[in-house]
């Protein structure tokens, strides 16, 4: 089996990748003996948040450099990702998805997707390979695939309305479960949109990873 690409968006729930979700994804892939390759945009992130008081800091940070804190330095620019070399892609959540991988945090249903992420994910999809997205990350799917797709972010009504406005079909889902769009080979789980502990988040994330591996192995 080829490696699975994991796309990060920084380091920290308020301005990058959700660290627990990222590490739990790594743990699940490792327990299934799957090689991981990390990617992130090599550019400045939208903002920098103090995670103690949630205030914005007046400083600049690079998305890939911050993401490398999670991947222990093993990471490459998203622009270099070659879909042919991977069997699937997984994207953890965190506000970095809505700020750095897209501008959903600013534009909502009128959002645009990072051009390198868009190119990579569309190539993965065109090659018939699965994609797993968790937490807030699934909001990008209607724009990435540019067609109707079944997905979940849990049960947040405002976010669901924006997903449906973009053309997605939202399925209510608990933290310990997944939603699978078999036709599009897309797997989603709410993770910390609903989970209140790493153990709760792990239950859905581990199911997602196992399903991604199953679909990638067919």
Please tell me the distance from the alpha carbon of residue 159 to that of residue 58, in angstroms, as a whole number. 29
pLDDT tens per residue, range 83-138: 999 999 999 999 999 999 999 999 999 999 999 999 999 999 999 999 999 999 99
Residue numbers annotated as active site: 135
Structure-block tokens of residue 152: 């979940």
Contacts of 181 (CB under 8 A, 6+ apart): 149, 150, 151, 187
Contacts of 163 (CB under 8 A, 6+ apart): 109, 138, 139, 142, 151, 153, 170
Please tell me the distance from the alpha carbon of residue 69 to that of residue 160, in angstroms, as a whole number. 32
Contact yes or no for 25/205 (Cβ under 8 A): yes
CB neighbours of residue 211 within 10 Å: 17
Please tell me the distance from the alpha carbon of residue 97 to that of residue 10, in angstroms, as a whole number. 9
- For residue 218, the model assigns a pLDDT of 87
**Segments of the chain scoring below 70 in pLDDT:** none
Please tell me the distance from the alpha carbon of residue 205 to that of residue 183, in angstroms, as a whole number. 21
Contact yes or no for 204/134 (Cβ under 8 A): yes
179-181 and 186-189 beta bridge pairing = antiparallel
Residue 197 DSSP class: S
Alpha helices for 32-156 (secondary structure H): 63-71, 95-96, 104-107, 115-126, 141-145
pTM of the model: 0.98
In terms of residues, how long is the chain?
Answer: 218
SS3 content of the chain, % helix, strand, coil (to 5): 45, 15, 40
Question: Residue 16, CB half-sphere, CA atoms under 13 Å: how many?
Answer: 28
Please tell me the distance from the alpha carbon of residue 137 to that of residue 204, in angstroms, as a whole number. 14
């Amino acid at each position: 089996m080829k490696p699975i690409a994991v796309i990060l968006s920084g380091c920290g729930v308020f301005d990058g990748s959700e660290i627990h979700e990222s590490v739990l994804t790594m743990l699940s892939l490792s327990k299934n003996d799957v090689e991981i390759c990390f990617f992130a945009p090599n550019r400045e992130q939208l903002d920098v948040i103090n995670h103690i008081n949630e205030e914005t800091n007046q400083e600049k940070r690079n998305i890939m450099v911050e993401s490398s804190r999670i991947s222990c330095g093993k990471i490459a620019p998203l622009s270099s990702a070659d879909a042919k070399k991977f069997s699937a892609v997984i994207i953890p959540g965190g506000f970095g998805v809505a700020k750095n991988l897209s501008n959903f945090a600013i534009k909502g249903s009128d959002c645009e997707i990072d051009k390198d992420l868009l190119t990579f994910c569309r190539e993965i999809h065109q090659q018939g390979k699965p994609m797993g997205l968790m937490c807030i990350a699934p909001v990008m799917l209607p724009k990435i695939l540019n067609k109707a797709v079944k997905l979940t972010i849990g049960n947040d009504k405002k976010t669901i309305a924006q997903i449906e406005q973009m053309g997605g079909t939202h399925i209510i889902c608990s933290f310990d479960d997944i939603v699978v769009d078999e036709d599009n080979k897309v797997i989603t789980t709410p993770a910390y949109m609903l989970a209140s502990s790493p153990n709760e988040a792990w239950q859905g994330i581990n199911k997602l990873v196992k399903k991604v591996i199953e679909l990638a192995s067919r």
